[in-house]
Amino acid sequence: MRNPTILASGILGVSGDMLIRAAHGGAGAVTSKSCSLEPRVGHPNPTVIESEGLMMNAIGLSNPGVDEEIRELRRAIKDAGVPVIASVFADRLEEFAAVTSRSSEAWPHLIELNISCPNVESKIGMPFSCSFETAAKATQLARSSTKLPLIVKLSPNVPDIVSIARAVEDAGADAICAINTVGPGMAIDIQARRPILSNKTGGISGKLIRPIALRCVYQISRAVKIPVIGTGGIENGKDALEMLMCGARAVGVGTAVYSQGPEVFSKINQELENLMKKQGYSKISEIKLVD
């Protein structure tokens, strides 16, 4: 990677052209919006609300299905000039194998397994990443369906993220991305006397979740050997450096694309470079996990 910033999954959508735009905006790698075997329309609007550094979304994993997404991925792989990470998810555990193997046909540089979206629930009523058994099972199924490096994205909404991280590492994950959105949360409109999001609840992102992301990445980094991509509320170079000090080897950027546009990656990288120089680091690998 030319730099440690990665476009987080779900941001800027499914089209190859938007992934290319994020790459032009300075991202060191780009992640596609999660796709499933079949197309999904997601939840009705309102699906996203934003207020004072906090974003809440319940898009509901809308995507055109893996067959169409493969074309978009190929377009991005051809022209983005940076590694492309294909994010996949499934409603049912059994489908993780098929969606992983189909996505791999586009030959992205990596596959990211999204087992942590709070807007889609498994049969047991929570995301697969909420139990180490289902998290490990999904990872195993994906692992046996692709030769590509596999990232597993985890949910912070669990009492013990370390046991989940260990479980996916043991199940064959090559890297962990943490964290997905926090909550889910709710927003009420008093005039309407009802929740604003049509799904009633939505995953929280933005700068307010950064302390949770830092803590999760710190705990995971101390517990596993595989690299961690630290994601959650990063908006500037200082945020990125803090995340790297918590053990992350790269940082995901999502909600900041809303406030600062797809050029936010160049800005973060520039700030990070300056700050590293000031702190006496000459490369990322010199940044050690804090005690």
List of residues contacting another protein (CB under 8 A): 10-15, 17-18, 20-21, 33, 39-42, 44-51, 55, 57, 59, 62-65, 68, 187, 189, 191-192, 194, 196, 198, 254-255, 257-258, 261
Closest to another protein by CB, 12 or 152: 12
Q: How far is the CB of 40 from another protein (least distance, A)?
A: 6
Residue type, 200: K
* Closest approach of another protein to the CB of residue 67, in Å: 10
List the structure tokens of 286.
């010199």
Q: Which 8-state DSSP code applies to residue 284?
A: G
Between 72 and 242, name the residue whose CB sits nearer to another protein.
Answer: 72
Beta-carbon contacts of residue 169 (< 8 Å; ≥ 6 apart): 176, 224, 225, 226
Residue number, 42 or 172, with CB nearest to another protein: 42
Coil, strand or helix: which one is 154?
A: strand
How far from 183 is each of 106, 115, 138, 204, CA to CA, in Å? Answer: 33, 15, 22, 6
Instruction: Tell me how far, at minimum, the Cβ of 1 lies from another protein, in Å.
Output: 22
Catalytic residue among 35, 117, 130, 216: 117
DSSP strands (E only) in the chain:
5-7, 29-31, 48-51, 54-57, 84-88, 110-114, 150-154, 175-178, 182-186, 188-189, 194-195, 201-205, 228-231, 250-253
Please confirm, yes or no, whether 216 is among the known catalytic residues: no
Alpha-carbon radius of gyration of the chain: 18
Min separation Cβ 25 and another protein, Å: 11
Supply the minimum distance, in Å, between the C-beta of residue 280 and another protein: 36
What is residue 63's DSSP assignment? B
Q: Exposure of 70 by Cβ count < 10 A (0-12 exposed, 13-18 middle, 19+ buried)?
A: buried
Peptide bond into 44 cis (omega under 30): no
* Least distance in angstroms from the C-beta of 33 to another protein: 7
The CA-based angle 211-214-215, given to 5 degrees, is 90
- Which residues are catalytic, by number? 117
